Amino acid sequence: MLRLERVRLQLGNFTLSHVSLKVGQGEYLVLVGPTGTGKTVLLETIAGLHHPCSGQIFLKGMDVTHMPAEKRHLGVVYQDYALFPHLTVFDNIAFGLKLKKKGTREISRTVSKMAQFLDIRTILKRRPRLLSGGERQRVALARALVLDPHMLLLDEPLSALDRLTRDRLRGELKRIHSELGVSILHITHDLSEAFFLADRLIVMKNGAIIQEGNPEAILKRPKDRFVAELLGIENFIPARLGAGGQLFLKGLGPGDPPVFSASPTETEKAICLIVPNWAIQLFPDKNNSDAYLAMFPMTITGLERAQGHMKIHLKHTGGERLRTTLSWREMNELPTNPALGQEIPVGLNRKGIHWVPAD
Amino acid sequence: MRPYLVGRPFKAVFFAASALLVILIAVPLLRMITSTDPGALVSTMAEREVMSSIFLTLRSAFWATIACLVLGIPLAYLLARTDFPGKSLVQGLVDLPVMIPHTAAGIALLMVFGRASFVGKTLGAMGLSFVGTEAGISLAMAYVSIPFLVNAARDGFLGVDPKLERVARTLGASPRQAFFRVSLPLAWRPILSGAIMMWARGISEFGAVIILAYHPMTAPILIWERFQAYGLKYAKPVAVLLILICLVIFALLRWLAEPRKEA
């Protein structure tokens, strides 16, 4: 559907460097990255609002690199919806249809159909200023979808909404995607949104794509510490791969060698263990020590209560600090109630751990 | 202290300052209007010379405003939306007519559009003369009052989120359609307000007009001439009449340009 080949763009001090990506027919692609990383610029470049210095953009096999925005048939929805304040909801949705010089009757029929699909029939006569965030979002989606675009480009479409509305609209986006089969490129910095919606995930940093794949694969094997941090992983243990493939955990004592199938070129180097919260197990089963990379005692230094879970801060005598998250059910299954200052045995579950070269 | 008293001294100071200023503007005008004999006002209204000079003033300023709307809106839009080399110089030039003495502006215009100049001669050969004509009056009015329009329109366009224009483009609008369907309708109030200010400033112009076109006589020149030739008694009714007519027109236009509350 959409293919970018080494697209480069210079916009003031910002550079989009040789971005290549593909969005398949009917695919839901989510692009994640921290604020200021060029996600919006990339989306606007695809939409035809900025023109690349080099590289090519193909849409349905056709080179659209130099095609003006109005000819590309791409629906764009912005974070703040960008509804036309001087027009009613009906006229906002009908804007593109009127430009296409459709007849009044056809416009009215198409708009009502879309309004029904997105459940906004009752607000068609209102002005955008008087709508709630969720309603505005639906109107913006309707305005883009009513033109039957080749693709939807969503720029942080849910981040200005309260949590409840956000959750509801997230489901709505999934429904739109599955019912209309439209290809979607969605950019966000919200990971739960990304994991909920994405068929495929792309991670961006400083104007460049650094990893892509399906969400589970990226979560399992983040390419580097930056991607892991972006995915919400909080524990990074500095370590060293020994010549014989042993693993030395700095600050936590030697681990059980060999932990990873390290090739000779990968020995004797500093690495970083990426440890998701769930891989840190309190009171590990000593009879099943093979499941663990290492076991050691740690002291509880903090307990953070949250909705549905408890976050536990741990400190090793060697200085290393780790964090883990336990659901209330897991909390109840612990042999003792964790208390501040308490020393408890901790195991690093092999399954969840992955290593990357140290920065 | 009861809650509603909080902030009362603050408001009182603001009310006092505002009242003082409004009085300062209104009293001289009221004094002039009330000290004029209604009979003299009526007989002045019957004078052809007076009425035609007032209408000439309104009309010339109106055409100056229309011409500057056509040329000024594109400039205002460029100033709001684009960066180009020399932009601050252009912005400074646009503001300049407010600062220079208007007699100087009149002389500058005369140098370019006068009968002795190349431009003046060429245009004169085409039948368009700016010295001692209504076109000259409009030109002088436009020159000194254009900053009001361009600056207001530029601020109006700055108030329109560029994202709205971008969305319009993705919905199939060409740059021209995005401008006429989104930017202009959203900026029309500040533009209208600027046009009203420009028209008003044009009507009141004296210095530049007198140098470029003493005749046909606009109202400000007629007032000055009567004051010079016959004294205050004869100048005053013309002045009062101009003030009253302008008051009605501008109150009406201001009311039109005000944002309405939506249901």
Query: Looking at residue B255, what is its pLDDT?
Result: 85
| pLDDT of B7 over the 80 cut | no
Asked if A208 reaches chain B (Cβ–Cβ under 8 Å), the answer is no
Partners of A44 on chain B (C-beta within 8 Å) are 166
Alpha-carbon gap: B262 to the closest alpha carbon of chain A (Å):
9
Contact A333, A281 (CB under 8 A): no
The pLDDT of residue A12: 78
Q: Tell me the two tokens of residue B88.
A: 């601050």
**Using alpha carbons only, how large is chain A's radius of gyration in Å?**
25
Interchain proximity B169–A48, CB inside 8 Å: yes
Report the sign of the C-alpha dihedral through residues B93, B95, B97, B99, in that order.
Answer: negative
Q: How confident is the model at residue B71 (pLDDT cuts 50, 70, 90)?
A: very high
Token pair, residue A208, equals 């460049």
The pLDDT of B53-60, averaged and rounded, is 95
pLDDT score, position B240: 93
User: pLDDT of B191-210, one tens digit each?
Assistant: 999 999 999 999 999 999 99
Model pTM score: 0.84
* Residues of chain B contacting residue A72, judged by C-beta atoms under 8 Å apart: 170
Q: What is the pLDDT of residue B3?
A: 55
User: Tokens 């741990």 belong to which residue?
Assistant: A314
Q: Which range in A16-25, A197-206, B71-80 is most confidently predicted, on average pLDDT?
A: B71-80
A70 CB neighbours in chain B (<8 A) are 169-174, 177
E strands present in chain A: 2-11, 14-23, 28-32, 54-59, 62-63, 74-77, 151-155, 183-188, 200-205, 208-213, 235-241, 247-249, 253-254, 269-275, 280-282, 292-306, 309-315, 321-327, 343-349, 354-357
Distance linking the first and last C-alpha atoms of chain B: 38
Tell me whether residues B171 and A144 touch, CB distance under 8 A. yes
Contact B189, B146 (CB under 8 A): no
- Read off the pLDDT of each residue in A160-189 and give the average, rounded to a whole number: 91
Contact assessment for residue B187 and residue B154, using Cβ atoms and an 8 Å cutoff: no
- Positive/negative CA dihedral, A248, A252, A258, A259: negative
Q: Which candidate from B170, B171, B186 shows the least CB-CB separation from A86?
A: B186
Among A298, A248, A295, residue whose Cα is nearest residue A273: A248
Looking up tokens 């305005």 gives A143
Whether B263 shows a pLDDT value over 50: the answer reads no
Q: What is the pLDDT of residues A114-150, one digit of tens each?
A: 999 999 999 999 999 999 999 999 999 999 999 999 9
Q: Is the pLDDT of residue A213 over 50?
A: yes
**Span of A347-351, B43-47, B222-226, B238-242 with lowest mean pLDDT:** A347-351
Mutate to test the interface with B, among A88, A98, A99, A152 (most CBs of B within 10 A): A99
A210 in contact with B, Cβ within 8 Å: no
Task: Give the Cβ contact number of residue A167 at 10 Å.
Answer: 15
Q: 3-class DSSP state for residue A138?
A: helix
Burial zone of B160 (CB within 10 Å; 0-12 exposed, 13-18 middle, 19+ buried): buried
Summarised one tens digit per residue, pLDDT across range A4-55 is: 999 999 887 788 888 999 999 999 999 998 888 888 899 999 999 999 999 9
The contacts of residue B165 (CB under 8 Å, 6+ apart) are B178, B179, B182, B183
Residue with tokens 């293919």: A3
* Banded model confidence at residue A254, pLDDT cuts 50, 70, 90: low
Beta bridge partners of A297: A345
User: Does residue A261 carry a pLDDT above 80?
Assistant: no
The count of CB pairs under 8 A between chains A and B is: 64
| Predicted confidence (pLDDT) at residue B64 exceeds the cutoff of 60 | yes
A327 by DSSP, 3-state: which?
Answer: strand
**Average of per-residue pLDDT values in chain A:** 88
Q: What letters, b where the CB count within 10 A reaches 16 and e where it falls short, cover A205-224?
A: bebebbbbeebeebbeebeb
pLDDT in tens, A306-320: 888 899 999 988 778
A195 touches chain B (CB under 8 A): no
DSSP B117: S
User: What is the Rg, in whole angstroms, of the alpha carbon atoms belonging to chain B?
Assistant: 22
How close, in Å, is residue A290 to chain B by CA atoms? 57
Mean pLDDT rounded to a whole number for chain B:
92
pLDDT score recorded for residue A263: 54
CA angle B253, B256, B258 (to 5 degrees): 110
The pLDDT confidence band at residue A267, using thresholds 50, 70 and 90, is low
pLDDT band with cut points at 50, 70 and 90 for residue B149: very high
d(CA A264, CA A181): 48
Distance CA A252, CA A274 (A): 14
**Which ipTM value was assigned to this complex?**
0.83
Return the pLDDT at B115: 87
% of chain B at pLDDT higher than 90: 79
Local structure of residue B183 (DSSP, 8 states): I
For residue A135, give the nearest of A126, A144, A145 by alpha carbon.
A126
- Give the model confidence (pLDDT) of B152-162 as tens digits: 999 999 999 99
Question: How much is the pLDDT for A286?
Answer: 84
Q: Is the pLDDT of residue B261 over 50?
A: yes
Q: DSSP secondary-structure letter at B76? A: H
Residue A257 has pLDDT above 50, yes or no: no
Chain A interface disruption, residue of B161, B165, B170, most A CBs within 10 A: B170
